[in-house]
Amino acid sequence: MTVRKRIVAAAVIAVAALALTGCAASSAPASSASTGSPSADAVSGTVTVFAAASLTATFTDLGKAFEAEHPGAKVTFSFAGSSDLVSQITEGAPADVFASADEANMAKVTTAKLADGEPVDFATNVLAIAVPPGNPAKITAFSDLAKPGVKTVVCAPQVPCGAATVKVEASSGVTLTPVSQESSVTDVLGKVESGEADAGIVYVTDVKGAGSKVDSVPFPEAASTVNTYPIVALKAAANPSGAAAFVDFVTGEKGRAVLKTAGFGAP
């Protein structure tokens, strides 16, 4: 082989080696990409969310936004008093996510080792007095709810809004004699909207969401009792990736914006 031919052969071998090196290098990112986080399109299927009744309007909006961001996913909700939802979850009701209106009911789920990870606080809420438009009973203070003849409706003590009401009674020294104790805050609001009650103790977000259907009577004693709302994915989730994605969505920037607009405070 001539010198010229040997030089050409060496050059060909060098080019081939560089090409093989390039192929090996280009294959590495593909391997690492396959082990990264799933894309938005990877979230699919039904995500079943058990959420406190006071989250009904807000979570309904968040569910629609979540579905728009994840076209392959469908969010279904079960709204009720947090204590009722805990009973359903501990008895085996199928749910992917639980959002409570207080930390006490969430603690029941974590103590039972049904939570997948630590709950995340995502909002706060305070009480308000809801009255029919025009405030016919002339309620101006929390103590007015204890006056004879005033038909007051509250949440049952095991429900977060009821537990908060009990704390306000204790701190203010005012004892209420309600005409009924409801299993959810939405039921209390419904009694006021229908005119069955002169007043009901709900959350500020419920009054805001009701619009012209009720008037609001804020009371300073409410500031001493602030409910914190936690959310968590559940171990028994049929759709664990969807559950994790929904929790991230609620606690993320978009979720916080929707909650703020609805009147919830930051955690």
Q: If pLDDT is split at 50, 70 and 90, which confidence band does 41 have? A: low
Read off the pLDDT of residues 160-185 as tens digits, 9 standing for 90 and up: 999 999 999 999 999 999 999 999 99
SS3 helix, strand, coil % of the chain, rounded to 5?
50, 20, 30
Q: What pTM was estimated for this model as a whole?
A: 0.82
List of residues 6+ apart from 52 with CB closer than 8 A: 79, 80, 81, 82, 85, 99, 100, 101, 160, 185, 229
Read off the pLDDT of residues 183-229 as tens digits, 9 standing for 90 and up: 999 999 999 999 999 999 999 999 999 999 999 999 999 998 999 99
Residue 76 has pLDDT above 60, yes or no: yes
SS3 readout for 116-146 = CCCCEEEEEEEEEEEECCCCCCCCCCHHHHH
How many percent of the chain have pLDDT more than 90? Answer: 84
Q: CA 184 to CA 194: how far, in whole Å?
A: 16
DSSP state letter for 43: -
DSSP state letter for 265: B
